[in-house]
A and B are shown apart, each in its own frame.
Chain A
Amino acid sequence: MPNKALMTVQSEDGPPTLEVAARQLGVGLDAVDADFGVIAIDPKQGLYSVQVDAEQMPADVAGQEPYRGPFSTPRIEPLGPPKIGAPDESEK
């Protein structure tokens, strides 16, 4: 599933199903990443997260309140041996 968008969903009764998450976000079930599943973010506040196919997101989702995404999922790297030398375009 390329171009995934990280979104949040709300559920006061424990983790929502993928179907419930899809409905909240206004996308089809096939747009929700089943491998990623439903991630607990702050269960006491009823906050969970899913990943959605960015190309199937409704156009107005970013303007909704409260903001539910898309949130970035940037690359992370080990903070191990520092790389030295001239900057390389591949490192950007």
Chain B
Amino acid sequence: MPISVLVVVPGQEAIRESAAAFAEGRAATRDLRDASMPSLLSIDPDVPAVPLGTGRLEDLGIVSMAPDQSPAFAVRATVNVDRVEDVPEVVDGRPVFADPRIAPFATCGSTPALGNTAAVVSQLNVARLTASGRGLDGANVAVAIMDTGINLAFLRAKLPAVRLDVANSWTPSNGATLPGNYPIDHGTMCAFDTLIAAPNATLLDFPILASSVPGGSTVGRTISTAMLAFSQLFTNWAVAFAPGGVSKFAGLVINNSWGIYHPSWDFPLGHRGRYIDNPRHPFNVLVAAMAVSGIDMVFAAGNCGPICADIRCQSRTAGAIMGANAHPDVLTLGGCDINDQIVGYSSQGPSIANMFQQKPDVAAYTHFLGSEAFGAGHPDIGTSAACPVAAGCVAALRTKVSFVTTPPTNLFAQIRAMARAVPGQVGWQADFGHGIIDPDATGMSLGV
């Protein structure tokens, strides 16, 4: 098998020309393959030669490293051997060095913010979406933020035109806090990130993760609380049709930046009432029925990625996308940074057994300086941020793409098909899914 190596060779005309051309930013006039090479080694003509002086540490600073004067150069070559262990250390008196694969350091929980809201706006081509005449800006589309609650004053200080529909928001039965008046926290981050691609969308506040839900924080943050909130939206959207109700909107998107970190939070494996791997669990049935009614549901994949998983994952990173986050009728988001690198904590597929396997569907941007809901200078982070960035993309598309002609399953299929592939990608892959969400290309493919 061919193994890439680096080898130090003496200066020759073709090699000096390669190094000089690279330094001057021009094409070389000689082919590197004209250089004389040690036996067994084939030079890589696409990688320029690098001047090394004599190649000895003790001569550094003494011998010129200019291409026309350097006595020795490093070149990339391949050697054919059966095993890596068979690569010779020296060939014809020339030392052979390893040329190992390298990768960028992963973005993890403690990594500072990478880029900012403007970078995300640019990466998503929001200016093209919202351009005059196209108008994919979320107008007349509602986005329900199923989270810790929204702080409207904080949002208004950053986004003066933000819209919150208080009447169609949800207040827990014994809750004293009005919609839009919750502490600045995770839900406010999600609301901010939703409006990046859909600045004219209308927010609905559904504080299912707030501490003031029935029973207090330890009881309130459960699937049954999510069921109460989802069912209210479902009834108002598809059953009640009350004047002024949520059915007045052209589209309804639900953002879900929440999930379960470990199976130990659920009934034991094999129990018929278990949630995380059971399409017949009432919440998963409810999600399926809501999708049929035209509601677009977007879920975060989770923060149990293999490189730097959240400690609540208890080191379990396989089959980590669970429950409704792995439902076939929802759009599931992995997270990448603004340099198009997957973030190390983004949960990877395939999903837990019995649920839809090819999750996440796509990736969206996270880990950027956005809302600063967690404090000045702190990034919008987690697949929690990627999820509302994508929910905003969906809302932007729903401005002109009807759920009647293009129901959620069709819209999500188109989003997958038009996702921007990462280098080397062929089909679905475990980290990015089908690629990075591209609302501009998706809209164009749908004729809007």
Contact = CB atoms under 8 A, between A and B. Distances in A.
Given A71-B281, A78-B148, A86-B311, A4 B224 contact: yes
Give the bracket for the number of chain B residues in contact with chain A.
Answer: 35 or more
A82 to B, nearest CB: 4
A41 B279 CA distance: 13
Contacts of A40: 231, 234-235, 239, 286
Interface stretch (B93-101, B243-251, B258-266): B258-266
A58 interface: no
B110 interface: yes
A72 B300 CA distance: 21
B273 A71 contact: yes
A80 B228 contact: no
Interface string A40-51: 111111010101
Given A8-B282, A72-B275, A74-B260, A49 B186 contact: no
B239 A80 contact: no
Contact of A84 (B147, B223, B311): B311
Interface in B211-266: 214, 218, 221-228, 231, 234-235, 239, 257-262, 264-266
A48 to B, nearest CB: 9
Interface in B177-228: 186, 189, 208-209, 214, 218, 221-228
B147 to A, nearest CB: 7
B407 interface: no
A73 B88 CA distance: 61
Nearest to B273: A71
Interface string A54-78: 0000000010000101111111111
Interface string B298-335: 00101100001111101100000000000000000000
Contacts of A82: 108-109, 303, 308-310, 345, 381-382
Contacts of A35: 173, 214
A39 interface: yes
B372 to A, nearest CB: 13
A77 B281 contact: no
